[in-house]
Structure 1
Amino acid sequence: MNLPYELQIGVRYTRAGRTGRRNGFISFISGVSMLGIALGVAALIIVLSVMNGFQKEVRDRMLSVVAHVEVMDGQGQALPDWHLTAKQARENPQVTGAAPFIAAQALVARGDDMRGAIIRGISPDDEATVTDLAASIKDSTLSRLVPGEWGIVLGIELARSLGVHEGDKITIVAPGGQVTPAGVVPRLKQMTVVGTFNAGHYEYDSGLAMIHVDDAAKLFRTDGPTGVQLRLKDLFQARDVAEQLSQAFGPQFIVSDWTRTNRNWFSAVQLEKRLMFIILTLIVAVAAFNLVSTLVMTVTDKQADIAILRTLGASPRSIMGIFMVQGAASGIIGTLSGVGFGLLIALNIDVIVPFIEHLLRTSFLPSSIYLISRMPSDPQAADIVPITLISLVLSFVATLYPSWRASRVQPAEALRYE
């Protein structure tokens, strides 16, 4: 099949410049432009993939402790019948598990050490159907939470900060004291540490404790569970399901999902991701617009060729097409090379980073400081496709002015000194 001569000549100019000092220099600049585009695109893909990986890792650890959706009484009182509430929630096809809970802030004390914590009253059997953490420690740890025995399970960092181990006694200082003739006296309850859990998320490991829901009802003076936790088939449908349940239950209930409960964290991550996208896109833009200088130099060098083509009947539009093909080819090669290189790094970052750490004898993410000790990566098409399109568009836009300038070359002027 015979290709249009604009395409043939444009591709030839892209590959040309291997002989002659000036042509060689132009070819070198063109290669640098393509390399710049490739590195910019690769950097965008790698950075956004790592950010996606961190977000997914933290989200998974967070959702191993908290439920996808919570349904609570609007007045903060005990639910009249949590079984009925759970049954009504299960009518939604997305709901796969339900468990009662009571959550309140309290002080956890041992000797002179005192820490603030969230005390969550749970039903061990039901809780295992809602959170991954409860399912993993149901038989080994949560089974020790027996109503009336006042056992408590602490986050591993909370236990470490208090210096307690399994079998030690701690004191819970509940909010709202008892009124006595001597004044308001704090309500204290001694409990036995029956185990610890490690969720891998510092916020929960250092500030969450779990007790049996019946003990929590007595400790916080509620007549029963104050809410129901729900697990969904698709965690990304949590907001829609929460809105549906809110309409079904009415204003006397408060329905919240995990995206709203942790809104500040997720908003900060999305903001950082957008800023990194903008910053790294500027790198791609700079590399793409290096094509302008490359094409301007090519147009200057090829004026005699342009004049001959014009003399042979080529139109200004055809001349413009030739140089647009040359610039677009450089942009396409650079972009596709960058996508390939970026995906190669992003998909193998779990091998590359440990190798670099071993080579440099250092650790980029010390487990004693950071939540995650390995570099996660999660390349997503939602990031890669826009990056590719933006790079291609910028490369195409960069060819417009040099190509227009080439189409304005007058044959007589160009051949005067030839």
Structure 2
Amino acid sequence: IKQPAARDAAWNETHAWGAREMERVICDFGGFFRKVGQIMGTAKQMMPPAYLESFARTMDANPPTPFPVVKRVVERSLGCALSERFSRFDERPLATASIAQVHAATLRDDGRDVVVKVLVADKKMMIGDVASMLHTSIALKRVGLDNGVDFPTVFRAYQSVIEHEFDFNVEARKISEFREVFETHGLSDRVATPRVVDELSGARVLVMERVRGVKVLDALNRARRRGRVPRLPSRARDGVFHTVFRAWGVMLLRHGHYHSDPHPGNLMLRRDGKLAILDWGQTQIAPASYRAHLCRLVIHMCAEDPRAIANEVRTRSQVKLERPTTEALTALCYAYFDTRPSALAEINMFDLNNSPFLRNKIVQNTEEGFFTIRTVFLLRGMMRACGVTASMVSSWERDARAAL
């Protein structure tokens, strides 16, 4: 099609069809496919609008598991009937995600409002989904259809962590760990984690005090339906993301263990103004050597020193480009390890005519750093949707220097 307007119309029609089909696949298959949808649903800078709308609808809205199944799981975990522990237990879930669904309830003994997170996913199926995607990505890479991104490394990274999400005892311990981290680093007045009711929680059921507020996902979805950014004063928007930057800087650079799934369904603005970080199932350990590498990279990026940035990547990073020029490595860092406006980050990697990765392929991706990049990617997408422009790395310089 030679006429630009007609070509654009044809593409829009194709995208609308493709988005509907992909939403159907995600809803039909569930499991790990929903995690892919979570990533792409925040990629406002890279995805056509039709896909953003479809993926956003899948984030916190899995088809619910029937309540009799949920009840059976909870009662097995408690060792008693629901009515013995809860005076109220809503059959309709508050949220349904890739692995678990969440129900509101009230404790019988003290009347506290709680949420009950119930493991409902099939572990073997979820692990099988990742294995299938890995095998597919390997085949695509062999025939040159991976757009120069090295997707096999990405799926190997997921393979290495997914099993940990199926034990809520681990998640409960992490919630306590990170509450102490935020208290130690002076962030407890701005950042909150849910409080676990330990005596009612187990490997498949996690009971927590209910957090009241507005999920960032809900605010974004309402704004998207109206075709505008969320209604919030710019100072408040900037303040929220400054808190996000500080929290992740402390976790990643100072503590060496961080929440690696900050999609908008996992962030809530509480009524008291605190940022509540939800769903601690997916976290990552940053080994000391990797953390030191990131700290040096932060300092070089804040100084805007291209040679130092490129040298750090060449000598310390697992990422390998076909042509590792100073310009290419520097652009890669600012695009995928920072949230500032970046021409590279705005390019659709699936655009076969313009994707820079087809001209300078990623020969080897980073399994170690993938979840760090994913975290930045999710936060960048949220910022774009909220109309916020800021550099996360600039907020991290103090933490980087302290950690070194």
TM-score surpassing 0.5?
Answer: no
* TM-score, normalisation: structure 2: 0.23
* TM-score, normalisation: structure 1: 0.22
Structure richer in strand, relative to its length: 1
